[in-house]
Every structure is written in structure tokens, then in C-alpha cells.
Structure 1
Amino acid sequence: MIFNIQQNIHIHSIKITSIGNSSVFQIGSAGIIKPLSQLSNTGGFTEPAPQLELEPLAPVSSVSPVTHPSHRN
């Protein structure tokens, strides 16, 4: 079965807050959405990234309380 669809789409403003590796953003109709994955080394890196060194979190007892200005007595 073949459908022929004519559309006029006018977009005045659009906001995309997040795009992930498997995101699909579609405007209008599509009979088939084919997955496409591309991996690009735009920085020309030749070695793996160094391991991240995390600093230990401060103990809860050493954290001083913070009062928001709207909650003061």
C-alpha cells in the first residue's frame, strides 16, 4: 500500500532540551525511520582518555547548614 502525503509545515519556534544517542526528532510523516549511528574522532585522539580521579566526599557531619534568605526568622 502506497500513501502519498503532501504537507506544509511552518515552525516559528522550537526548543530541544536534550539529544541522546538514540534520539529521534521527527517533523511530519515518515513511512520508515532507518537507524543510523556514526562515530567520529573529530579531535584526532589516538589513545584512551586518562582515568578520572575523584576526590572523596566530605563527611555529612562536617558540612555546615545553609539557610536560604527567605527562610530566616
Structure 2
Amino acid sequence: MNFFIQQDIRIHSIRINSLVNSSVLQIGSCGLIKPISNLFNTGGYTQPAPPLEIPTAPYAPETTYPILVPLPGTIT
């Protein structure tokens, strides 16, 4: 079964709050929307990335910084 649709769409103003990579904005009729995903090596890398180094100890800052704004009840 074939449908022949002739449309005249005029958009004077359109507001789109959010449009992300997987969104589809459709105005009018569409017979078929085919998803596509392309991966490109834009950095020209030739080898896999090195493995992550996972720290064995939890993060602890080595430097303590002074309180810049005096808090109520503290002695300066």
C-alpha cells in the first residue's frame, strides 16, 4: 500500500528545550527513520588506551587549607 502525502508546513516560531544525540525532531510525515551510529578516530590513535591506574588508598588531601571565613563560635 502506497501513501502519497503532499504537505505545506510553515513554522513561524519553534522552541526546543532539549535535543540530545538520540533525539529525533520530526516535523511532518516520514516513511521510515533509520537509526545510525558512527564512530570516528578523530585523534588518529593507532593503539588502545593504557589501562586505568586504580588507587589502592582512598583519596586524602595532603595539604590542609586555613578557614578563610570565620565560623560562628570559633577562635581566630
Q: TM-score, normalised by structure 1?
A: 0.52
Which is bigger in relative contact order (C-alpha 8 A, separation at least 6)? Answer: 1
% same residue: 37
| Count, aligned residues | 54
Distance 2:57 2:10 in 1: 55
Q: Which has the higher helix share?
A: 1
Listed as ranges, the gaps of 5+ residues in structure 1 are: 59-73
Q: TM-score, normalised by structure 2?
A: 0.51
- Cα RMSD, aligned residues only: 2.4
Distance 2:17 2:7 in 1: 26
How far does the alpha carbon of each residue in 1:1-48 deviate from its partner, in whole angstroms, 9 at most, with x for none?
A: 21122212232x4333643xxx13213122211222211111101111
Q: How much has 1:51 moved relative to structure 2?
A: 1.2
